[in-house]
Structure 1
Amino acid sequence: MSIGLSRAESKPNIIVIYTDDQGYGDVSALNPDAKFKTPNLDRLVHEGIAFTNGHSPDSVCTPSRYGLLTGRYPWRTERKSGVLGAEAKCMIADGRMTLASLLKEHGYHTGMVGKWHLGMDFPGTPKDRDWTQPVKDMPLDKGFDYFYGVPASLNFGVLAWFEGRYAKVPPTLYTNKKKNPLYLDYRIMPPYETEPGKSTDPTRIVKTNFEVAEDFIDNQCLTRFTDKAIEWMATKSDDAKSGKPFFLYLPYTSPHYPVCPLPEFQGQGEAGAYGEFVIETDFHVGRIMEFLEAEGLDENTLIVYTSDNGPEKSWPSRLKETGHDSRGGFRMGKRSVYEGGHRVPFLVRWPAGIAEPGRAWNGVVGQTDLLATFSDLIGQQLPDSAGEDSQSFAAVLRDPKTEYERLPLINRSNESGDGRYAITDGNWKLILPKGKFKPELYDLAADPAETKNLAEQQPEKVQQLQKSITDIVVKGRTTPGATQPNDTGYWKELSWMSIADFEK
């Protein structure tokens, strides 16, 4: 049943802030042992709902972004693992419903500011560009009215400040990773080179080149993105007050490499440059909230804050050197099928719409659920061909005592040579067997760190969960409705099931 709002003017403005490689333990309100403070993120916790069992659709960037925007698992597409480069066929097929296209269809202004990383079609080839021509197969073709941002993670290149389909300063120079004096990763910063050949710059870590604009510098991303987000929202403020709300998708590039906090944040916290970078991110979230309050939009703006996967593999050294656990005590981090790979901060604040704010919800939710939740909130139903793995958790916002339970949730490893799948149903999580890996079964209520494999003691539970994930894969959907096709036939990572099972 929909709990949609009865008056059009009551539809909330919606902001989805998506960070990059931020672990569950990188929010101080969620981690009492955190070595830095995140007061603005903590405010989202104290004034909203902390979904403490919230999950990204995958354990790396590109597929998680697909799942977030479409409400469909990314492994149903042709891309079964890994991430896209800056230039690629967009992973979101033409005509596939997204958060933006849903809300645009129902009267919203729709804007995106930040990192896309789902593929774009640039004019020409790297050897023969014509930057007077428009970029295609990009956010403006997937439901967004406005776009400002970068194509992908900064290490993939084609770096410029794109607005709409064009870069004001085109990426006609060349560079690659340079030494980072603050951290163990790299920087993308001038001086840049005019020739595409290999570099002899002694500060360069990688000598091959990618395309970059002369005015691009990595540590300006968070400031520019927040400035542009506020600028765009300001142009929609009057409409929002008179019944035409806005949707803003704000995917930040932090705390993904390069870790490059601005000088004014250096020295803050006790977790080095990484902590400083998260502190800077928190500062910009505060700027968004200050704008909403100043414009009188705060009360009826729903903010979702979450991350695309768990922390990068620098988390062990950070834990050892500073005592800060970016995983928040969960097992492993980015790329892993274990909880640390996909259990992430998942915070929702909406003063006008959340009953009893300041509470935690410990039941399972996924980022794929945003499409159905937003559809529910505006009083709409999704067609069978959209949001196949999206289940509305709107009831949790309205009713602290709701008996809402998430249908089984699927996650996946993106470690090279691993490619394991997991299914979580309530407190039980099964990691499916693959090659040398045997099945692993965990009771997450008793063992959230996944230390005790109960597969041998609970063979019936293993069999039950294996049947559930097989059904979800084969039916092309998690939710009730007509069976939908996956985009490919059987693929090798479905090692627990046969081709005959898949084709039933």
Structure 2
Amino acid sequence: MSRRPNILFILADDLGQGDVSCFNPDAGWTTRHMDSLAAEGMQFTDSHATSSLCTPSRYSALTGRYNWRSRLKRSVLPGDSAALIEKDRLTLPLFLRAEGYRTAVVGKWHLGLDWQLKSGGDELMLSGPGAGDHQESPHRMGRNGNFDPGFPGHAEGLDIDYAKPVTFGPREVGFDYSFITAASLDQPPYVYLENGLPLGVPSVLGGDHTRLDRRTANHQQAIQKGPMVEGYDVRQVAPDFQAKALTILDDLLAGEDPWFLYVPSHLVHGPIIPNLPWQGRSGHGPYGDFVLQFDDYVGQLVGRIDEAGAREDTIVIVTSDNGASGVANLPSLKAQGHDPSNGWRGHKSDIWEGGHREPFIVRWPKTIEAGSVSSYIVSHSDLFATVAEVLDVPLPETAAEDSVSNLPLWTGNRAPVRTDVVSHSGGGGFAIRREEWKLEFVTTGDGMDQRFEEAQGGKPTEYRAAQLYHLGEDPGETHNLIDDHPEIVDELSELLASHIRRGRSTPGAEQRNQPNPPSGRWRQIDWMEDADRVVANCL
């Protein structure tokens, strides 16, 4: 039997499709390493994260399941949250480990960790007041199985016993080795974790703002206040993790077994502080410089593989978790002629295409024709089924319920592998796409801009079939045809309702969605006639 391929999966943070120059000829800079990878492999122009936010899209990439089936129905996890991935769920790394792969993750986790918690109130001494001044809700998000952002904690990470290892994290999800931060570059707790053990005990309260503006560039180089190990330097995170990833990659390349290395980079999420060698490189400000720093990271990882003679035996995948963030300073970039969304409407957290249409590049010289381009719909959730077909190993019906193999596209088949794809906004709203028709079950973009407008007294989002666009004729989603094609609205509404009811969008036995504790409410599906029954059927 021929050697099974290695897999390098690089996931950028908040990188827009228009930030990669092989997808956007009008980009303000040239991403030469990603462009080179695309020239040696295949780029997908209609590739989608399952959500326009990071925690949910990462969940789908590792499970092959739409994120909204989990307990997290909207938003993202706080950095100190318990684990989101279900304890009994087969994940891509667990699957690969069972097939003899060495598995490792180096980077941003943001899928929750089952931390061991302190029992007393001394954990709050970092912020001055005693325990009585910080009474947390018993339904606090990220604790006791609750994942509803309507119950936020007062201060993230103050109740954790950092001297003890997490009890459920990357290892239990399938990674033999892990070197991670719990969440984003700007989120506490500020401590590295290696193989589930925090590398130090936070002793100071670091950061700039208790409430960080993640909608605009007002806090572009700031971080949220929270527990921090002494000496922690947010500017050193990217080089630290890059060095570790290269070390782990060298070790994997030196072994005999096939391997899976997942590199969820902290770049290009805020705080946007490019390291010194990259400052000023793009000519378009810190964000452009940060993108070029990420591009160089990609080049170094791929270069190590090629130098080791493993080019032919390694699948390299590069994509992003969601669209570009407002922290990038989108108005300034637009004024300079650069569009991170590549002409698509919206950006991170929005239901519109700019929120979830991502750059996606795959290189596998043994199988993929160099310089090829696919315009067929694919989803990040498809990675699991694709790898399973590459290995010719069937998946159980209880796994990868929304994953469709892309291998036929990799081998040059010129026919769609998906009939439809479901997208999800930061506020939890739905959209379904079939061919060029896209139906959105929100009256707004349902992202961070909308949350800001609502906080200023604006009209709240309604969750119903409200926007219909033909992307082939209207890629900017500016001409709402909701009243012109009632038959398409009905067809797509029923198709999405079926996907939700069945607990899967692929053939197979029906599965159940997870509930939304503590309330059990799932108002984003209230448009369904049988919404109450669907909620009642959740586990």
TM-score (norm 1): 0.89
1:171 to 1:351, Cα distance in 2 relative to 1, 3 A = farther
Alpha-carbon distance between aligned partners in 2 of 1:348 and 1:383, rounded to the nearest angstrom: 26
1:323 to 1:84, Cα distance in 2 relative to 1, 3 A = same
2:499 aligned residue: 472
1:185 aligned residue: 219
- Aligned residue-pair number: 469
1:437 to 1:385, Cα distance in 2 relative to 1, 3 A = closer
1:79-124 per-position Cα deviation (integer Å, ceiling 9, x unaligned): 1101111112211011211111011010100000000001113333
Cα offset for 1:43? 1.1
Alpha-carbon distance between aligned partners in 2 of 1:492 and 1:464, rounded to the nearest angstrom: 21
1:427 aligned residue: 436
Q: Contact between 1:315 and 1:325, CA under 8 Å: does it hold in 2?
A: no
Say yes or no: does 1:176 pair with 2:199.
Answer: no
Q: Contact between 2:401 and 2:506, CA under 8 Å: does it hold in 1?
A: yes
2:186 aligned residue: 155
Q: Contact between 1:54 and 1:364, CA under 8 Å: does it hold in 2?
A: yes
1:436 to 1:409, Cα distance in 2 relative to 1, 3 A = closer
Matches within 5 A, 1:260-299: 260-299=273-312
Corresponding residue to 2:418 among 403, 406, 414: 406
Q: Contact between 2:46 and 2:378, CA under 8 Å: does it hold in 1?
A: yes
Cα offset for 1:502? 4.6
Say yes or no: does 1:321 pair with 2:335.
Answer: yes
Alpha-carbon distance between aligned partners in 1 of 2:265 and 2:23, rounded to the nearest angstrom: 20
Q: Contact between 1:393 and 1:404, CA under 8 Å: does it hold in 2?
A: no
1:200 aligned residue: none
User: What amino acid does structure 2 have at the position aligned with 1:35?
Assistant: G
1:493 aligned residue: 524
Q: Percent same amino acid among aligned pairs?
A: 36
SS at match of 1:25: helix
Q: Contact between 2:463 and 2:525, CA under 8 Å: does it hold in 1?
A: no
Alpha-carbon distance between aligned partners in 1 of 2:500 and 2:440, rounded to the nearest angstrom: 15
TM-score (norm 2): 0.83
User: What amino acid does structure 2 have at the position aligned with 1:480?
Assistant: P
Cα offset for 1:405? 2.8
Alpha-carbon distance between aligned partners in 2 of 1:167 and 1:496, rounded to the nearest angstrom: 44
1:449 aligned residue: 476
Alpha-carbon distance between aligned partners in 2 of 1:293 and 1:214, rounded to the nearest angstrom: 38
SS at match of 1:53: strand
SS at match of 1:430: strand
Matches within 5 A, 1:167-246: 167-177=198-208, 184-187=218-221, 209-239=225-255, 242=256, 244-246=257-259
1:446 to 1:500, Cα distance in 2 relative to 1, 3 A = closer
Cα offset for 1:423? 0.2
SS at match of 1:474: helix
User: What amino acid does structure 2 have at the position aligned with 1:110?
Assistant: T
Alpha-carbon distance between aligned partners in 2 of 1:455 and 1:259, rounded to the nearest angstrom: 39
Q: Contact between 1:433 and 1:495, CA under 8 Å: does it hold in 2?
A: no
Alpha-carbon distance between aligned partners in 2 of 1:211 and 1:121, rounded to the nearest angstrom: 17
Alpha-carbon distance between aligned partners in 1 of 2:166 and 2:221, rounded to the nearest angstrom: 26
Alpha-carbon distance between aligned partners in 2 of 1:253 and 1:184, rounded to the nearest angstrom: 20
Say yes or no: does 1:45 pair with 2:53.
Answer: no
Alpha-carbon distance between aligned partners in 1 of 2:91 and 2:179, rounded to the nearest angstrom: 18
1:93 aligned residue: 86
Root-mean-square deviation (Å): 2.1
2:109 aligned residue: 116
Cα offset for 1:394? 0.6
Q: Contact between 2:404 and 2:417, CA under 8 Å: does it hold in 1?
A: no
Alpha-carbon distance between aligned partners in 1 of 2:531 and 2:308, rounded to the nearest angstrom: 58
Q: Contact between 1:185 and 1:259, CA under 8 Å: does it hold in 2?
A: no
SS at match of 2:72: coil
Q: Contact between 2:163 and 2:198, CA under 8 Å: does it hold in 1?
A: no
1:433 to 1:463, Cα distance in 2 relative to 1, 3 A = farther
Q: Where does structure 2 lack aligned partners over 5 or more consecutive residues? A: 125-158, 444-461
1:165 to 1:332, Cα distance in 2 relative to 1, 3 A = same
